Amino acid sequence: MAKPIIHDHDGHVDDLIACILLWLAPQVELEVVGITNGDCFHDQAYEAMIKIATYLNLERAEIAVSPDPMPNPFPDNWRRESYIINELPLFSENDFRKPYPNGKGRRVDSAFADCLANSKAPVTIVATGPMTNIALTLKAQPELRSKVAEIVTMAGAVTVPGNVAEEGHDGSAEWNVYADPQAFKNVLDWVPNIKMIPLDVTNQFPVSQQFLARLEAQSEKCRASTLALKLWSLVRGFDYYFWDTMTAAAAIDPTIFTFKEMKIDVSVQGKNMGKTSTSIFGGRKVKVATAINIERFEQLLLSTLQTR
């Protein structure tokens, strides 16, 4: 039986491809897609998600959106990518297709709460953006915490430098945590089962030209492969890694990864705000990914993107 999934993402290229993987993978059943106002402008990312669902003839999952700002907003030049994604010429084909039935989109925390409350089985949450909406949902209705099977999150930098380069910050934090460190800390406290995919693993594997060539070879017959290839082409020339796609893969097939249980704490203030570090006396136990079978991972991506 496919396990129910909520995907909370913040609208950038890798988030969208991760969402496509979760929607297409037969091992999971995507119930709700939540768009966080993180590495995107929420209205643009929401429209793009509707266009993606229409383009691929995807069904069932509700698409929800949150306009709430981040405590530490992502750089505007990163967020503006959502305008480019939303206007991809590829989506012009949607004029001849039935639009994805979604209306204006509910608030994410409302959609998440309904999904958790009404699911017959505990739900896995895949978080590839800040934890803002997840923390809001679980704070407002603490009884729903028991309905979360686990959270699989792209977050943190444990033994490697972070990727935050903001004035006054020491660079030790990863962006998803830094954007809302208190939300991340709250979720650590509330949910006992968390798998963390940190920069320590993702930094080892950029999206390579060899992988993209394999994807291109199957794109002529597969719309999902065509779309993923087009999305990755938007970040060609940048150092771009399998951040969120790895996180989706960890929910689909965790056996691809090696995990180590660690006690993780997060700083919520000061020059190292958002830093995730191991702790002997504090923190919470988290399963941290320490290695990945890259061949199996890439094959999972290719085979899943070949299904539609």
- What's the pLDDT at 280? 80
Does 103 have pLDDT greater than 80?
no
**Size (the chain), residues:** 308
Query: b/e map of 84-115 (b: 16 or more CB within 10 Å)?
Result: ebbebeebeebeeeeebebeebbbbbebbbbb
φ/ψ region of 72 (left if φ > 0, alpha if ψ in -120 to 50, else beta) reads: beta
- Nearest of 253, 1, 299, 278 to residue 122 by alpha carbon: 1
Q: Percent of the chain scored above 70 by pLDDT?
A: 100
Residue 296's pLDDT is 98
Lowest mean pLDDT among 1-5, 82-86, 135-139, 183-187: 1-5
Find the mean pLDDT for residues 99-110: 89
Q: Is 253 exposed, middle or buried (0-12, 13-18, 19+ CB in 10 A)?
A: middle
Q: Is the pLDDT at 281 greater than 90, yes or no?
A: no
Please count the other Cβ atoms lying within 10 Å of the Cβ belonging to residue 31: 21
Query: How is residue 270 written in tokens?
Result: 């000061």
The domain at 3-305 falls in which architecture?
Alpha-Beta Complex (3.90)
The mean pLDDT value of the chain amounts to 96
**Confidence check: pLDDT of 174 > 90:** yes
Rounded Cα distance between 128 and 38, Å, is 10
Residue 292, H or E segment: strand 284-292
pLDDT band at 282 (very low <50, low <70, confident <90, very high): confident
Partnered with residue 224 across adjacent β-strands are none
The pLDDT of residue 101 is above 90: no
Residue 34 and residue 63: Cα distance in Å, rounded? 6
What residue ranges do the domains of the chain occupy?
Answer: 3-305
Stretch 270-288: mean pLDDT? 93
Question: pLDDT per residue over 191-217, tens digit each?
Answer: 999 999 999 999 999 999 999 999 999
Provide the 8-state DSSP code for 278.
E
Distance CA 5, CA 32 (A): 7
Predicted local distance difference test score (pLDDT) of residue 239: 87
24-35: average pLDDT: 98
Q: What is the pLDDT of residues 260-276, one digit of tens each?
A: 999 999 999 999 999 99
What are the contacts of 115-120 at 24+ separation with CB within 8 A?
115/4, 115/6, 115/31, 115/32, 115/62, 116/6, 116/141, 116/144, 116/147, 116/148, 117/141, 117/144, 117/147, 119/4, 119/31, 119/147
Angle formed by the axes of helices 223-233 and 209-219, nearest 10°: 140
pLDDT at 102 over 90: no
DSSP-derived letter for residue 100 is P
**Is the model's pLDDT at 238 over the cut of 90?**
no
Taking alpha carbons only, the member of 191, 78, 62 closest to residue 118 is 62
Greater model confidence, 112 or 105: 112
* Helix extents (H) in the chain: 13-24, 42-55, 76-79, 81-86, 108-118, 132-140, 175-179, 181-190, 199-202, 209-219, 223-233, 243-252, 294-305
